[in-house]
């Protein structure tokens, strides 16, 4: 199943995304678990606010990092995030 | 390669287990509390716990479990939860659910609690109530429903042993019925009261393999709906678990009286006195205390661990298991097939085929006092 580029994405209400000062990175927290994120992954997840889509996240990140061709990488990460339940498609 | 006597690298604690009290209305015969828990009566005050939470958070702890005994017996629980939320912890209430009302679940949510882990002993009333030593089954299921209704991730925990392992399917169906988001199937680990009752709790290899197959089938079927954590019974493995992710690397337990432990079972080790938060800061305890440094790194290891290429994976296994079975806390975990003491595990496995008749010893203050009163 491939991710619809125009489906709004939101961060899971059963997980928490937060900045950890001691680790100098974002982490995802959930029951019995903790995932340490690199800067790019955090930038993607922070945008999963119920309004952004794959397409708009890519647009913003390409602007922010002044680059092109991020679609495949962002899609791949979002699909992993969906599979892990960190994000969901907003109905 | 590290030179002998060099200091192993220090990582900050990530996981804090706050055992608020040893008081508990239940009497589970596999409780992980030390068998002599009734010896330790002086609980930390509210202010004492707040300081523990603040100091551990400052060092980097982020996952927090409120445990016990039964943490609901502390009337200041909501205040501690609110303090933890302000500090940025992700906090979990590990509870029997006994006496928990919908109102208190809501109050804890308002205070900032992230999730509640409810334990149920078995999927049917008589067995569950017998194991808990109290009539509690129906209410526990009600609590699980309230937890779910109020928007928490619902985490159900069932400890597995020979009295309920045949009901693995019933346990999984109960988790489905209650809408669990997470199910922890915790095969009994033989510490504390469980070690005392091992002969009456340990399943046979055949029972274990059948149950594991059921759990695996549901895990596949429920993928994406329910996350199943299957805690393996390490006696049936041939390599030890990487206990606590290595001593003094990740986990910190604070016992009700303020004793700081590298894991919640460590109080059974032959160590006269653990560092206490009443006298030392969390930083001093973590970085400088002799006990937290004792099994860090690899220099403390005996053979066969010392020259083993798997030591970076399992850190020599569990110090408590080594001590409880061999009498030597520096020994290789006897679960390891390379351990000279592996026969002790094999004996226990053989004994599970025909366990001696003996009653279960239920966990309560009266039974506990026998371990220190003469």
Chain A to chain B Cβ contacts (< 8 Å): 41
Predicted confidence (pLDDT) per residue in B19-52, tens digit = 999 999 999 999 999 999 999 989 999 999 999 9
- pTM passes above 0.90: yes
The complex scores an ipTM of: 0.89
Query: Which string of DSSP letters, residue by residue, matches A11-42?
Result: E-TTSEEEEETTTTEEEEEETTEEEE--HHHH
B153: nearest CB among A14, A18, A83: A14
Whether B222 contacts B177, CB under 8 Å: no
Query: Quick one: closest CA in A to B148, which residue?
Result: A14
Q: Residues of A with CB below 8 A from B14's CB?
A: 34
- What is the pLDDT at residue B9? 74
Residue A14 forms contact with B (CB below 8 Å):
yes
CB B299, CB B318: distance < 8 Å: no
Q: B151 and A13: CB-CB below 8 Å?
A: yes
CA distance B157 to chain A (A): 12
Those residues of chain B that have pLDDT short of 50 are: 1-4
For B66, the 3-state DSSP assignment is strand
Quick one: pLDDT at residue B4?
47
Convert the pLDDT of each residue in A13-45 to its tens digit: 999 999 999 899 999 999 989 999 999 999 999
Task: Give the nearest chain A residue to B156 (CA atoms).
Answer: A31
CB-CB contact of B290 with B278 (8 Å): no
Binding-site residues on chain B for chain A (CB distance < 8 A): 12, 14, 58-60, 62-63, 88, 90, 92, 114-115, 117, 151, 153, 155, 181-182, 184, 224, 227, 229
* Cβ contact, residue pair A85, B227, below 8 Å: yes
Residues B181, A34: C-beta atoms closer than 8 Å? no
**What pLDDT shows up at residue B373?**
82
Peptide bond connecting B69 to the previous residue in cis, omega within 30 degrees of 0: yes
Interchain contact A30–B (C-beta under 8 A): yes
Nearest to B17 by CA among B256, B362, B373, B299: B256
Reported as a pLDDT band with limits 50, 70 and 90, residue A91 is low
CA distance B233 to B321: 13
Q: Is B155 helix (H, G, I), strand (E, B) or coil?
A: strand
């Amino acid at each position: 199943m491939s991710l619809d580029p125009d489906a709004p994405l939101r961060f899971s209400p059963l997980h928490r995304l937060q900045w950890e000062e001691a680790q100098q990175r974002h982490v995802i927290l959930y029951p019995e678990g903790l995932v340490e994120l690199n800067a790019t992954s955090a930038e993607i997840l922070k945008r999963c606010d119920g309004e952004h889509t794959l397409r708009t996240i890519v647009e913003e990140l390409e602007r922010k990092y002044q680059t092109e061709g991020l679609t495949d990488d962002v899609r791949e990460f979002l699909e992993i995030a969906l599979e892990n339940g960190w994000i969901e498609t907003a109905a | 390669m590290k030179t002998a006597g060099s200091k192993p690298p220090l990582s900050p604690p990530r996981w804090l287990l706050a055992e608020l009290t040893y008081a508990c209305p239940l009497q589970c015969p596999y409780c992980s509390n030390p068998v002599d828990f009734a010896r330790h009566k002086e609980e930390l005050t509210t202010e004492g716990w707040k300081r523990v939470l603040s100091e551990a958070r400052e060092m980097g702890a982020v996952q927090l479990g409120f445990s016990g005994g039964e943490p609901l017996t502390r009337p200041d629980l909501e205040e501690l939860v609110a303090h933890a939320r302000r500090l940025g912890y992700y906090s979990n209430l590990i509870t029997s659910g006994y006496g928990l009302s919908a109102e208190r679940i809501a109050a804890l949510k308002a205070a900032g609690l992230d999730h509640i882990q409810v334990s149920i002993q078995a999927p049917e009333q008589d067995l569950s109530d017998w194991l808990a030593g109290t009539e509690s089954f129906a209410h526990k299921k009600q609590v699980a429903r309230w937890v779910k209704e109020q928007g928490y991730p619902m985490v159900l925990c069932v400890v597995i042993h020979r009295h309920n392992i045949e009901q693995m399917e019933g346990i999984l169906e109960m988790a489905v019925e209650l809408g669990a988001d997470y199910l922890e199937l915790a095969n009994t680990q033989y510490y504390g009261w469980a070690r005392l009752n091992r002969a009456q709790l340990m399943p046979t290899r055949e029972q274990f393999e059948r149950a594991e197959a059921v759990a695996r089938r549901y895990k596949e079927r429920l993928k994406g709906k329910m996350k199943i954590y299957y805690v393996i019974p390490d006696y049936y493995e041939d390599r030890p678990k990487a206990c606590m992710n290595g001593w003094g690397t990740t986990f910190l337990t604070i016992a009700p009286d303020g004793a700081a432990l590298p894991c919640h079972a460590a109080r059974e080790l032959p160590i006269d006195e653990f560092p206490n938060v009443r006298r030392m800061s969390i930083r001093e305890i973590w970085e400088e205390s002799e006990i937290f440094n004792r099994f860090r790194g690899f220099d403390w290891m005996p053979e066969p661990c010392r020259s083993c290429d798997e030591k970076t994976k399992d850190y020599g296994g569990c110090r408590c298991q080594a001590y409880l079975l061999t009498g030597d806390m520096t020994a290789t975990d006897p679960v390891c097939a390379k351990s000279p003491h592996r026969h002790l595990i094999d004996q226990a496995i053989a004994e599970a085929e025909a366990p001696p008749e003996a009653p279960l010893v239920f966990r309560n203050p009266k039974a506990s006092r026998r371990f220190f009163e003469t």
